[in-house]
Amino acid sequence: MLMPKRTKFRKPHRDCLVGETKGGAYVAFGEFGVQAMECAYITARQIEATRVAINRKMRKGGKLWIRIFPDVPYTKKPLETRMGKGKGAPEFWVSAVRKGRIMFELGGIPREVAEEAFRTASHKLPIKVRLVTRDSLDGE
């Protein structure tokens, strides 16, 4: 499971999830990318499930780059707890993903395999995503 070795603060404020991504909106490493079409928190479990699904479709060939990292702890209060008494304990790690962010990249595989891997990966993520290629983002 992905998580940082250490953080500066144990319980940070929630990041604002409005608008488009500030960076990482282009395919930098591979030939194909999985681009977010909505803003959301992506958990470490969802990233891992997507990674496993993509690697199963790619078999032995190709390479996968993960462009997001869950570096924000997400806190929750226990169930059936009254209001007050401070902020809840950190439960899991998330990555704040905004619209337009390239989350995963694939390289060294044919387009058909990339589309099939993308389709299974999209089922693992809580947001709408699209498959982009290295040259398709130049005009958009």
Average pLDDT over residues 88-106: 96
Specify the residue for token string 């990339």. Answer: 114
pLDDT at 70 over 90: yes
pLDDT surpasses 50 at 32: yes
What pLDDT, on a 0 to 100 scale, did the predictor assign at position 60? 83
pLDDT of residue 137: 62
CA distances from residue 4 to 71, 88, 94, 116 in whole angstroms, order as listed: 6, 20, 11, 31
Strand order in the sheet with 40-43: 40-43, 89-97, 72-76
φ and ψ of 64, to 5 deg: -120, 130
- For 32-75+89-133, CATH number out of 3.30.200.20, 3.90.1170.10, 1.10.3720.10, 1.10.599.10 equals 3.90.1170.10
For residue 66, the model assigns a pLDDT of 97
Confidence of residue 139 (pLDDT cuts 50, 70, 90): very low
Q: What is the mean pLDDT of residues 58-81?
A: 93
Instruction: Enter the DSSP assignment of 60.
Output: T
Ordered by start, the domain boundaries in the chain are: 32-75+89-133
pLDDT, one tens digit per residue, over 100-122 is 999 999 999 999 999 999 999 99
Residue 27 has pLDDT above 50, yes or no: yes
In this prediction the pTM is 0.91
pLDDT band for position 1 (cuts 50, 70, 90) = confident
